Structure 1
Amino acid sequence: MTQKTKLEILGPYTPEHEGPFALLCGVNQPIECNVHSVVEGSAFVTSEYMGRTPFIASVHNIKNAREVPVAREFWVNEYAGGGLSVYASKEEAKNYKVCLRRTIHVREVMPGESE
């Protein structure tokens, strides 16, 4: 499993920030974007989320950000015959109950978190 990251907003857009930048729009998570130019309050940006199609966004919706690690989490079903299966969600793990001994919840402990 690879390390997941999320964007943490640092503050308003400033041209001195090397990136990443976050676009705030109608989705639950900030979207990483590339700021190509800014003219009078409008930013010319591209984003993987928009299929790399260039578009104009308000500078008020662009924020300086940084990537921070997100703890990985998964569920492991242990079966009577000794087999193990890994699932991304608790709900998915519950779908496979035949010969189930137990379900183990695994969450990565991040540096600085107390036990």
Structure 2
Amino acid sequence: MTQTKLEIIGPYTPEHEGPFCTRDGVVVEIMTKKDRNGKVLGYVGDRKDLTEWETAGQFDPTRMSDTEYDLMNAREVPVAREFWVNEFKGGLFSEAHTSADDAMGASIGMGAFIRTIHVREVLPGEGA
């Protein structure tokens, strides 16, 4: 299964169906696009308290400057998975590691080490 991340596609607009994030890329779950006071309400990341934005998505109610907390329209884009595995004699492989250094460190004392292999997922549309 391909992993995804959010890519900002522009400032907040009520017509956008989602997903949403803050200007600094934190996921936002919109609960209402217009409360009784005309505000947008939603949860930022894992926070338990609702955050409030102006109608156009500004966090700063004075609208004097852009902030990292401003609401943005986003879309999901695929992210290639990448990992390193060690190959050992006899056709054995180690578990996946998040870096080449971690993989090399894990190969010490494991016996008949052959090599460390870098694996990167090829996404649709990328050349083979």
User: Which is higher, the Rg of structure 1 or of structure 2?
Assistant: 2
Pair 1:89-2:99 in alignment: yes
CA-based RMSD of the aligned residues comes to 2.3
AA at the equivalent of 1:105: H
Partner of 1:10: 9
Code of the residue aligned with 2:28 in structure 1: it is: C
Q: Return the alpha-carbon distance in structure 2 between the equivalents of residues 45 and 51 of structure 1.
A: 10
TM-score with structure 1 setting the length? 0.78
Find the aligned partners of 1:79 and 1:104 in 2 and give their Cα distance.
Answer: 11
1:46 pairs with 33, 43, 56, which one?
Answer: 43
1:45-104 Cα shifts (integer Å, max 9, x gaps):
203x23343123562411111111101111111123432112122222121123321011
Mapping of 1:14-93 within 5 angstroms? 14-25=13-24, 30-35=25-30, 36-38=32-34, 43-47=40-44, 49-57=45-53, 59-60=57-58, 61-85=70-94, 86-93=96-103
Give the % identical residues.
Answer: 44
Q: CA deviation at 1:31?
A: 1.4
- Residue 125 (structure 2) aligned to one of 101, 112, 115: 112
Q: Which runs of 5+ in 1 are unaligned?
A: none
Normalized per residue, the structure richer in strand is 1
How many pairs align? 109
Which whole-Å CA distance do the structure 1 matches of 2:51 and 2:91 have between them?
Answer: 53
Question: Could you tell me which amino acid in structure 2 is paired with residue 76 of structure 1?
Answer: V
Structure 2: distance between partners of 1:43 and 1:102: 54
Structure 2 residue runs of 5 or longer lacking an equivalent are 59-69
| 3-state secondary structure, aligned to 2:33 | strand
